[in-house]
Chain A
Amino acid sequence: MRFAGDSGDGMQLAGGRFTDATAVLGNDLATLPDFPAEIRAPAGTIPGVSAFQIHFASRDILTPGDAPNVLVAMNPAALKANLASLPRGATIIVNEDAFTRRNLEKAGYPVSPLEDDSLAEFTVHRVPMTTLTTRASEALEGVGTRDAGRAKNLFALGLLSWLYDRPTEVTERWIEGKFASKPAAKAANLAAFQAGWSFGETTEMLDVQYKILPAVDVDPGTYRQINGTSATALGLLAGSVRARLPLLLASYPITPASELLHELAKHEGLGVRTVQAEDEIAAAGVALGAAFGGHLGITSTSGPGMDLKAETIGLALMLELPMVIVDVQRAGPSTGLPTKTEQSDLLMALYGRHGDAPLPIVAARTPGDCFRSAFEAVQIAIERRTPVILLTDGFLANSSEPWRIPSLEELPEIDPGFAVAPASEEETFLPYARDERGVRPWAPPGTPGLEHRIGGIEKQDGTGNISYDPANHATMTRLRAEKVSKIAADLPALEVDDPDGDADVLVLGWGSTYGSIRAGVRRVRDRGLKVAQAHVRYINPLPANIGEVLRAYPKVLVPEMNTGQLVKVLRAEFLVDCKPYNKITGQPLYAAELEEAIVELIEAPLEVPA
């Protein structure tokens, strides 16, 4: 189902509360907030429409859903903007009061769609939500028309909560807490929510009520609802706690990465420092300075910020210091679509620095998986003394799902392994000596006897002194690359989901397309066709067995929300003729479109090289 309304209508709030109640009920779920880049686009217009979609069921949920079965449209613009995505037969609940001539004009409707037959293939319910909300709080003391007018999203929430039999206590408790210091707003919101619920229960307008039982096919454990931003923050924090290193996050406000700064700024109590830097470059520099000082230095941003941080990331790589760079990808290039999702920074993460500058890249696949991915990014950075890029995206950051809370014993301890002072004065400290993994010592300032200088100029192998020797530069370039490639030996192999082991097509993805691909693959299998699925978490180094996996299938499909970036790498590295499937609309992949693409590839004649 999807809540849609004006940016000022509180649709994200209604969606979020519905999600919480759904999570507590034990349904599996996935959400997709979709809002404009403008804080308040002109009210009532199509650019101002803000929507929140939630997909929930009693079985495991893979995506927020391609097309909603129920649309709540708070005004004509919201109806118009969302109509195209509704399947035939879908239910539409409109706030009838908002279908005024003026609002219809703003949305570009010459005639009200409620009055002609343009909605004939849908089930439309007209509810005067504004009137009913206002009436519900008329008798309440101290509640003005303003409070009442702003609560119509809670009326819609109440109505939908009844329709899907969501528990009311969760939402009521939230209202009590949220408006504890504003009695009038509290009363108005509670009244609106209850009025919405009662409207559903007492009118015969909605003739069905759905009951969706708690999901059963999920692993035992304690769960909570989580979005990718919170999961990333907790994963980074968990890395800090398990490494016993204080965390410093330096960031510059940018959509959609700012939320991570807000989230971590709350946790000073766990040794977290956050610095809102003067720009993206400074944010990277501050994080690197913290790393030099022996702390866990992290910087977070979205695409345009990555452009600016590139030089500092190159320095971190040259200095061989740990640092985590979180890139919450968004649709580019340039400012692009700040609030829309895309996977188009993969090649930049891999190659977007001058010189031969390889570094590890980890990509999260679901909102909850951001926790594990962030933790692993921290682990790799600290243990291997290297900047690591963590790729998430706007969809993962804002979307939420139930998440099994890991017990802390599941998380390995991370040993920073700081260098210790040499035993005798005769021994010289070599800041660029390497162990068998190619890893150099980390010697933060403060330890007597380890005073040393590092810098961006090429270093002599071992001593770290400036060296312009040609052969040494070749050696150092090779050693830096080897250090990163050696990580693959300690990474888990790429797992392939292929029930019978003889699928015709392998679908290989990375990042946030995981749920869509799984759902698409499930649909193909439901049609009796054979398809295998694998999902890459480590973009660099790639899993050691990936070449073998690619060559094991006659056809490989690589779906991405870009113009074909991973597919280029796979073709170049492994000489396998992988087929791209690309979507660049700023929206997540849909299971239905993937199903079609997979089936098409299965049915395509096998290309035999001449």
Chain B
Amino acid sequence: MSATLHVNGNGNGHEHRLTKADFQSDQETRWCPGCGDYAILNAVQTLMPDLGVPTEKTVFVTGIGCAGRFAYYMDTYGMHSIHGRAATIATGLATTREDLSIWVVSGDGDALSIGGNHLIHALRRNVPVKILLFNNQIYGLTKGQASPTSERGKITKSTPFGSHDRPFNPIALALGAEATFVARTLDRDRKHMTEVLRQAAEHRGASLVEIYQNCPVFNDGAFFNLTEKDTKVAAQIRLEHGQPISFGPEGHEHGVARAEDGGLEIVPLAGNEQRLLVHDQHREDPSLAFALARLADRPTEPTPIGVFRQVERPIHGAAASENPGRHVGDTAALDHLLHAGDTWTIAGP
């Protein structure tokens, strides 16, 4: 895709090639120092000019939480809505405005707790929106309560004796809702994040991207096993379409293979090369992607990142938009409707 084609027109004849600066609003960013959100914002703003969508056709709809502020920092159209409901508003927008590129930015509390119902239905319907789920496994804006992705036993202000509840696996949840694009990436891997976001943007339908995002204040280091230099090679299982799934440092390489019981298992690479699973993100049946999503119970274990699934399915509203009978403002059709059925006329005196 050539970036030179992507220009912004403001109607006065001055057009210019879009740059990152065109997507930066004049609002001061107010996340905590060191917050993973900065890296995500930076990656998104950098990617935007390459996507071929002008700023006026791009919309960010966000929920409540630290991630919710994202909309204010993008110089596009944007709405910072209410807790959990961004997906519903984006659905209404996508249903009526097929010309727009719509992004939803949400957090683990917003998308999976208060907004869980809307998330699964947006995915089920395949609404053409790109959902970025910033997962830091904690409530940040409300100052540190357990979230639906916090690990069991997590001690927080709301769970002083440790969280009793099993956390959600967002990827497994999205696949269970038959999402057509499901991916996971990391705030501290700019290159990987950009590539995954690009694929999400290009997908026709609902995309869900879980971004492991560090909260330096309330849950610092939750994903360091996956993101830091000395551990990440052994912990990241990178999913690449068409490639055998293998990972680990030289000399300790491992791979993912079918176990005898039909499940998946992590095996040493040596001697198992022929058994390794070749990743097929376009596989229609989501059960293998689901098994991959469940390889790691927590990000402290070797964890798959990348695109789990990308398939084509009719998008929400497509059938209605293809209806040739749409004619807004048709007074004759309205008049016909008003007179439908049996009518009678009473003459004047």
| B1 partner residues in chain A, CB cutoff 8 A | none
Known contacts A26-B344, A268-B325, A449-B11; decide if A241 and B82 are in contact (CB<8 Å).
no
**Cβ contact of A220, chosen from B85, B326, B348, cutoff 8 A:** B348
Check B96–A451 contact: CB distance below 8 A. Answer: no
**A24 interfacial by beta-carbon distance below 8 Å:** yes
Beta-carbon nearest neighbor of B93 in chain A: A289
Q: Map CB proximity to B onto A14-52 as digits: 1 under 8 Å, 0 otherwise.
A: 000000100110100000000000000000000000000
Residue from B55, B74, B344 having most chain A Cβ neighbours under 10 A: B344
**B97 interfacial by beta-carbon distance below 8 Å:** yes
Check B80–A455 contact: CB distance below 8 A. Answer: yes
Check B326–A234 contact: CB distance below 8 A. Answer: no
Check B80–A285 contact: CB distance below 8 A. Answer: no
**Cβ contact of B55, chosen from A281, A283, A294, A451, cutoff 8 A:** A451
A:94-131 near B, CB below 8 Å? none
| B97 partner residues in chain A, CB cutoff 8 A | 293-295, 444-446
Known contacts A282-B91, A421-B11; decide if A405 and B339 are in contact (CB<8 Å).
yes
**A494 interfacial by beta-carbon distance below 8 Å:** no
**B8 interfacial by beta-carbon distance below 8 Å:** yes
Q: Considering the chains assembled together, what is the distance between the CA atoms of A426 and B339 in angstroms? A: 52
**Cβ contact of A278, chosen from B14, B118, B335, cutoff 8 A:** B118
**A245 interfacial by beta-carbon distance below 8 Å:** yes
**Cβ contact of A455, chosen from B11, B72, B341, cutoff 8 A:** B72
**A223 interfacial by beta-carbon distance below 8 Å:** yes
**Cβ contact of A408, chosen from B55, B90, B335, B349, cutoff 8 A:** B335
Residue from A223, A271, A278, A453 having most chain B Cβ neighbours under 10 A: A453
**A211 interfacial by beta-carbon distance below 8 Å:** no
**Cβ contact of A268, chosen from B79, B91, B326, B338, cutoff 8 A:** B326
**A315 interfacial by beta-carbon distance below 8 Å:** yes
Q: Considering the chains assembled together, what is the distance between the CA atoms of A278 and B118 in angstroms? A: 7
B267 to chain A, nearest CB (A): 42
**A202 interfacial by beta-carbon distance below 8 Å:** no
B325 to chain A, nearest CB (A): 4
| B71 partner residues in chain A, CB cutoff 8 A | 453, 455
Q: Map CB proximity to B onto A256-268 as digits: 1 under 8 Å, 0 otherwise.
A: 0000000000011
**A350 interfacial by beta-carbon distance below 8 Å:** no
Q: Considering the chains assembled together, what is the distance between the CA atoms of A277 and B118 in angstroms? A: 9
Q: Considering the chains assembled together, what is the distance between the CA atoms of A268 and B344 in angstroms? A: 27
B:1-51 near A, CB below 8 Å? 8-12, 14, 25, 27
Check B333–A224 contact: CB distance below 8 A. Answer: no
Known contacts A26-B346, A315-B81, A448-B10; decide if A278 and B327 are in contact (CB<8 Å).
no
B64 to chain A, nearest CB (A): 8
**B312 interfacial by beta-carbon distance below 8 Å:** no
Q: Considering the chains assembled together, what is the distance between the CA atoms of A222 and B335 in angstroms? A: 12
Known contacts A225-B342, A285-B118, A293-B96; decide if A450 and B337 are in contact (CB<8 Å).
no
Check B93–A292 contact: CB distance below 8 A. Answer: yes
Q: Map CB proximity to A onto B56-93 as digits: 1 under 8 Å, 0 otherwise.
A: 11110100000000011011111111100101111111
Q: Considering the chains assembled together, what is the distance between the CA atoms of A240 and B95 in angstroms? A: 17
| B94 partner residues in chain A, CB cutoff 8 A | 289
**Cβ contact of B346, chosen from A218, A423, A448, cutoff 8 A:** A218
**Cβ contact of A244, chosen from B121, B328, B349, cutoff 8 A:** B328
Q: Considering the chains assembled together, what is the distance between the CA atoms of A600 and B42 in angstroms? A: 75
B265 to chain A, nearest CB (A): 37
| B92 partner residues in chain A, CB cutoff 8 A | 248, 250, 275, 285-293, 297
**A477 interfacial by beta-carbon distance below 8 Å:** no
Residue from A282, A423, A445, A446 having most chain B Cβ neighbours under 10 A: A445
Check A24–B342 contact: CB distance below 8 A. Answer: yes
Beta-carbon nearest neighbor of B94 in chain A: A289
Q: Considering the chains assembled together, what is the distance between the CA atoms of A18 and B36 in angstroms? A: 69
Q: Map CB proximity to A onto B300-338 as digits: 1 under 8 Å, 0 otherwise.
A: 000000000000000001001001011111110111011
**Cβ contact of B77, chosen from A278, A295, A445, cutoff 8 A:** A445
Check B343–A220 contact: CB distance below 8 A. Answer: no
Check B345–A454 contact: CB distance below 8 A. Answer: no
**Cβ contact of A289, chosen from B57, B90, B331, B334, cutoff 8 A:** B90
**A319 interfacial by beta-carbon distance below 8 Å:** yes
Q: Considering the chains assembled together, what is the distance between the CA atoms of A423 and B14 in angstroms? A: 12
Check A448–B89 contact: CB distance below 8 A. Answer: no
**Cβ contact of A241, chosen from B121, B331, B343, cutoff 8 A:** B331
A:480-505 near B, CB below 8 Å? none
Known contacts A293-B97, A448-B54, A455-B72; decide if A270 and B328 are in contact (CB<8 Å).
yes
Check A224–B80 contact: CB distance below 8 A. Answer: no
Beta-carbon nearest neighbor of A20 in chain B: B342
Q: Considering the chains assembled together, what is the distance between the CA atoms of A452 and B92 in angstroms? A: 19
Check A445–B56 contact: CB distance below 8 A. Answer: yes
| B230 partner residues in chain A, CB cutoff 8 A | none
A414 to chain B, nearest CB (A): 11
Q: Considering the chains assembled together, what is the distance between the CA atoms of A452 and B329 in angstroms? A: 28
Query: Chain A: how many interface residues by the 8 Å CB criterion?
Result: 77
Q: Considering the chains assembled together, what is the distance between the CA atoms of A421 and B56 in angstroms? A: 11
| A270 partner residues in chain B, CB cutoff 8 A | 326-328, 330, 333-334, 337
Beta-carbon nearest neighbor of B345 in chain A: A222
| B345 partner residues in chain A, CB cutoff 8 A | 220-223
| B330 partner residues in chain A, CB cutoff 8 A | 241, 270
Check B91–A285 contact: CB distance below 8 A. Answer: yes
B320 to chain A, nearest CB (A): 6
**A424 interfacial by beta-carbon distance below 8 Å:** yes
**Cβ contact of B9, chosen from A268, A294, A448, cutoff 8 A:** A448
Q: Considering the chains assembled together, what is the distance between the CA atoms of A224 and B340 in angstroms? A: 8
| B348 partner residues in chain A, CB cutoff 8 A | 220
B:134-161 near A, CB below 8 Å? none
Check A312–B338 contact: CB distance below 8 A. Answer: no
Check A282–B121 contact: CB distance below 8 A. Answer: yes
Check A170–B342 contact: CB distance below 8 A. Answer: yes
Residue from B61, B78, B79, B99 having most chain A Cβ neighbours under 10 A: B79
Beta-carbon nearest neighbor of A453 in chain B: B78
Check B81–A456 contact: CB distance below 8 A. Answer: yes
Known contacts A286-B91, A455-B81; decide if A241 and B12 are in contact (CB<8 Å).
no
**B117 interfacial by beta-carbon distance below 8 Å:** yes
Check A450–B56 contact: CB distance below 8 A. Answer: yes
**A311 interfacial by beta-carbon distance below 8 Å:** yes
Check B327–A452 contact: CB distance below 8 A. Answer: no
Known contacts A224-B343, A286-B95, A289-B90; decide if A447 and B56 are in contact (CB<8 Å).
yes
Check A456–B91 contact: CB distance below 8 A. Answer: no
Q: Considering the chains assembled together, what is the distance between the CA atoms of A219 and B338 in angstroms? A: 18
B230 to chain A, nearest CB (A): 40
**A269 interfacial by beta-carbon distance below 8 Å:** yes
**Cβ contact of B334, chosen from A237, A281, A466, cutoff 8 A:** A237
Known contacts A286-B89, A289-B88; decide if A319 and B96 are in contact (CB<8 Å).
no
**A176 interfacial by beta-carbon distance below 8 Å:** no
Q: Considering the chains assembled together, what is the distance between the CA atoms of A488 and B208 in angstroms? A: 47
Beta-carbon nearest neighbor of A295 in chain B: B96
Known contacts A451-B56, A453-B80; decide if A421 and B10 are in contact (CB<8 Å).
yes
Beta-carbon nearest neighbor of A466 in chain B: B72
**B100 interfacial by beta-carbon distance below 8 Å:** yes
Beta-carbon nearest neighbor of A220 in chain B: B348
**Cβ contact of B56, chosen from A287, A297, A449, cutoff 8 A:** A449
26 intermolecular pairs with C-beta atoms under 8 Å apart: A23-B342, A219-B346, A220-B347, A220-B348, A220-B349, A222-B339, A224-B340, A240-B328, A244-B329, A269-B327, A270-B334, A278-B117, A283-B88, A284-B88, A285-B91, A286-B91, A292-B92, A293-B92, A295-B96, A295-B97, A312-B88, A405-B339, A423-B12, A446-B77, A455-B72, A457-B80
Given A270-B328, A289-B96, 7 additional A-B pairs, CB 8 A: A250-B92, A292-B92, A312-B85, A408-B331, A408-B334, A454-B78, A455-B72
5 smallest CB-CB distances across A and B, nearest first, come from: A289-B92, A285-B88, A455-B80, A286-B92, A271-B328
Residues of B within 8 A of A (CB): 8-12, 14, 25, 27, 54-59, 61, 71-72, 74-82, 85, 87-97, 99-100, 117-118, 121, 317, 320, 323, 325-331, 333-335, 337-349
